[in-house]
Amino acid sequence: MNAQTTTFPTACLIGGEWVTKDKTFPVFDPATGNKLADVPDLDATDARRAIDAAHAAFPAWAAQPAKERSKVLKRWLALITAETEALAQLMTAEQGKPLAEARSEVAYGGTFIEWFAEEGKRAYGHTIPTTNTATRYITIKQPVGVCAAITPWNFPIAMITRKVSSALAAGCTIVVKPSEETPLCALALAKLAVDAGVPPGVLNIITTNDAASVGEALTSDSRVRKLTFTGSTDVGKILYRQCAGTIKKLTLELGGNAPMIIFDDADLKEAVEGTMASKFRNAGQTCVCANRILVQSGIYDEFVAALKVAVEKLTVGPGRQPDATVGPLINADGIEKVKSLIADATSKGAKIVTGGTPAPQGPLFFTPTIITGVEPAMAIAKDEIFGPVASIIRFETEADAIRIANDTPYGLASYLFSQNLARAWRVAEALETGLVGMNSGLFSNEVGPFGGVKQSGLGREGAQEGLEEYLETKFLCLGGMNS
């Protein structure tokens, strides 16, 4: 474990300068309700200053060889890695997740920087066979330009590094607006980026409690050529509309309603472990959490009993408590949503197998819960729960499972457990999602393209595809080749 060596800032980063403001907003620890810090409450004018800085920095950054940009990214990664413990403590304080999960998020966030530092060197165009003897054709890849990123609170480091490292590796500059719930991790990343030698204006981080005005400033400015957003589908639709005026490129990682299908022929132990990993990561606050657990009749009772044993072993507590495995939810709205979805489901006949109530550790803690007898028409099967609640639906046939799984406007993640490879493949092909976990409850990493279909979004992050999102293809046609 590394000792903390850096004092992290509470000021924003614009054009290489640390920016403070008289107007601030507080950041709270969701486990205790204690105030951690005040950070600048920047406005649309400040956002435009950040765009000015990113715009001014773009030509020089884009002109650097990818190998030079890669060196800067690798220095950033080295500093983040050296500060793993300090960053994890900060994340647990402002976001609430258990320290072990916070440490692995720092590592997970770092994998994107490592990947894109290398992948940026491979932004290849190609040669195209000519259609006549007088011309030759090639394509080249060029950075999109100034980008804007609006990032969520549930992964306050990894969702920033995933976006920023791909943008910077491609030669773009960027303005990041982190969630108002978790600005401190973003500002810590900014400090380490400066220390790593990221040139002024290449990375700008602006905090605000007025997401609507700053979002409008970022989306309406024609100098911003791309917006990348992770968050709810409702907000994604607003940003999509706002970007239409200047036809920006878009990556939208939006809400999900992930089905997890447990077939009769699943390996029970593997299915329970996969469900636990997917459902209870970050207290159920991920876009890829199993939101509807579909269990086939033949394995239903056995699965529910085994899941109950596993769920009752979870330890609710503040993230800094060494044995805590389920931390607080992010805010009071999160708790209210969970309570109301459970109340609605039980009023319509669903049954609580374990949990079902707020936990005594504090106002934002909720007891890990299993609820059975859920019907696809209930709100709990339609809305993203974003809490530690395993909601179980019984099904009879493979065709039923596919129909129920796809009966949602969302299409981010899905999961299936079956030892029949032919079935697993067939069902994976039939599921209308961008990501499918087959006998696996976790699939997020830097090499796999992450993203959804339907109303879960546009574009992919991570992987080769993630670099492409920050590049334009230019077609070069060279004539006069017969002379």
Is the Cβ–Cβ distance between 262 and 414 less than 8 Å?
no
Contact flag: residue 286 with ligand SIN (CB under 6 A):
yes
CB of residue 385 to ligand SIN, shortest distance in Å: 13
Nearer to ligand SIN, 70 or 251 (CB): 251
Contact flag: residue 155 with ligand SIN (CB under 6 A):
yes
Nearer to ligand SIN, 372 or 444 (CB): 444
Instruction: Please tell me the chain's helix, strand, coil percentages from 3-state DSSP, rounded to the nearest 5.
Output: 40, 20, 35
Phi, psi at residue 420, to the nearest 5°?
-90, 105
Contact flag: residue 230 with ligand SIN (CB under 6 A):
yes
Torsion from C-alpha of 46, 48, 53, 57, nearest 10 degrees: 150
Q: At what angle do helices 84-95 and 66-82 cross, to 10 degrees?
A: 70
Single residue of 287, 345, 353, 416 touching ligand SIN by CB under 6 A: 287
Torsion from C-alpha of 206, 212, 214, 220, nearest 10 degrees: 140
Nearer to ligand SIN, 231 or 319 (CB): 231
CB of residue 120 to ligand SIN, shortest distance in Å: 21
Helix (H, G, I), strand (E, B), or coil: what is residue 143? strand
**Interatomic CA distance for residues 188 and 242, integer angstroms:** 30
Please identify the residue of the shown chain whose CB is closest to the bound ligand SIN. Answer: 444
472 is known as an active-site residue: no
**Interatomic CA distance for residues 113 and 111, integer angstroms:** 5
Contact flag: residue 157 with ligand SIN (CB under 6 A):
no
Candidates 27-35, 238-246, 280-288, 308-316; binding stretch for ligand SIN (CB under 6 A): 280-288
Residue corresponding to tokens 């039923």? 400
CB of residue 129 to ligand SIN, shortest distance in Å: 40
Nearer to ligand SIN, 37 or 252 (CB): 252
Contact flag: residue 182 with ligand SIN (CB under 6 A):
no
- 316 DSSP 8-state letter: B
Catalytic residue among 253, 398, 446, 461: 253
253 is known as an active-site residue: yes
CB of residue 216 to ligand SIN, shortest distance in Å: 23
CA atoms within 13 A on the CB side of 435: 34
Catalytic residue among 12, 172, 185, 287: 287
Nearer to ligand SIN, 230 or 361 (CB): 230
- Cα angle, residue 277 at apex, residues 276 and 283 outer, rounded to 5°: 80
Helices (H), 221-296: 233-244, 268-280
Strands (E), 151-264: 173-177, 203-205, 224-230, 249-253, 258-262
Residue 232 tokens read as 């709810």
Nearer to ligand SIN, 58 or 116 (CB): 116
Contact flag: residue 154 with ligand SIN (CB under 6 A):
yes
Q: Give, as ranges, the residues between 425 and 444 that touch ligand SIN (CB under 6 A).
A: 444
Candidates 57-65, 72-80, 285-293, 325-333; binding stretch for ligand SIN (CB under 6 A): 285-293
Contact flag: residue 288 with ligand SIN (CB under 6 A):
yes
Q: How many residues bind ligand SIN (CB under 6 A)?
A: 8
Residue 305 tokens read as 């009993």
- Residues of the shown chain interacting with ligand SIN in the complex, contacts defined by CB under 6 A: 154-155, 230, 253, 286-288, 444
Residues recognised as catalytic: 253, 287
